[in-house]
Amino acid sequence: MKCYKYYVLLSFLVLSNLLVAQELFDFQISFTHENDFLGISNQDDNYTGGAQLELLLPEFNFPQPFFELENGTNYQILALGGTAYTPQDLLATEVVLNDRPYASLTYMIFGKLSIGEESKSLLNSQLIFGLTGWQGPGEAQYYIHDRGWFGTTRPNPRGWDNQIGFNGSFVVNYNILRMQSFNLNYKDDLKTELFRPSWLIGGDFGNYMMNLEAGLYLNMLNINSFPVFGANTGGTPILLRATETSGTPKKGTKGFRLHLFAEPKVRLVGYDTTLQGLLFNDNSPYTIDSGNINRIVLDFKAGVKLLLANRFFIGYNHFLRTQEFKQGKNVHHWGGVTLGYTPLKSMK
């Protein structure tokens, strides 16, 4: 766990310095933890979990390789996180054949979030710099199992030396997501909005993931929450937009806001490092053959988001993913919890 502790400490110092640099305290910070123990009757395998610390700030004033919506409000995204994948047999020290390989990613995100007028459109573009094969995520999983967190009785994992890109390999990805509400007749002054569907398209490009995806974002209930504060499908809603620059709530907003949603998507898989190994110069001890990869995967996410006092956010998401390779689980599901905070002050 020593390396993992250093990584967490470095992450905290970097984000703390960035917060201090924001003299007007225009920021939003959130922490998300995903784990299959937060789903239903899972056995801690496949996608076993991840964590992300995200900071949302006013846009930085220098050229960047990101896209913006015309007349949109732009935010800067900074994040640090990690993910982990494991086979079902955690006791084996040797390669577990016909199952998912051990795989992990420790990453940093630099990106831009552009929100259109009345939160009816969104454009999220990100650069992800990461390290596959580092021992940190495996050490974190061992720590959780060894101390029985989340009530787990699963054995301590012993096969992380067999993970994809063992000892660390650099990856970079450029990811983009576009979302737009359907052109329906909405009444923007409603305190409760029952349904607002949107379409979304996106893609991942790089030596970590290459995907194309399309789907729907089904906003099924908003209570006291226009503009739709669930517009950021990546996690935390845009709390920065909840108040006027004076620090007082916008007219019509309430301290309590609730949002329910569902997000079905279809994904066309081009390349997946967590299954197929590194795109270049791969020396992984075990990978899934390209012919066994399912090129069409269905992803589904549903959840609830709750805002309190226009400052504090809590959300729960439940995820479902269909079979990714021929010997894999037919369906894998997991849960995620996000906690967020912003001062009661919006951007100037």
Please write the tens of the pLDDT for every residue from 126-140: 999 999 998 888 888
Q: Looking at residue 187, what is its pLDDT?
A: 59
Q: Give pLDDT tens digits for 57-89.
A: 989 989 999 999 988 888 899 999 999 999 988
Q: Give pLDDT tens digits for 17-58.
A: 554 444 445 788 999 999 888 877 666 778 988 999 999 898
- Label residue 147 exposed, middle or buried (CB < 10 Å: 0-12, 13-18, 19+): exposed
What's domain 2-341's superfamily in CATH?
A: Outer membrane protein (2.40.128.140)
Locus of tokens 């995204």: 77
Pairing, β 169-181 against β 192-193:
unpaired
Enumerate long-range contacts of 136-139, CB under 8 Å, 24 or more apart: 136/3, 136/4, 136/7, 136/82, 136/104, 136/106, 137/4, 137/82, 137/83, 137/84, 137/104, 137/105, 137/106, 138/84, 138/102, 138/104, 138/163, 139/1, 139/3, 139/4
Low-confidence ranges of the chain (pLDDT < 50): 1-7, 19-24, 227-237, 239-249, 252, 346-348
Quote the pTM value. Answer: 0.85
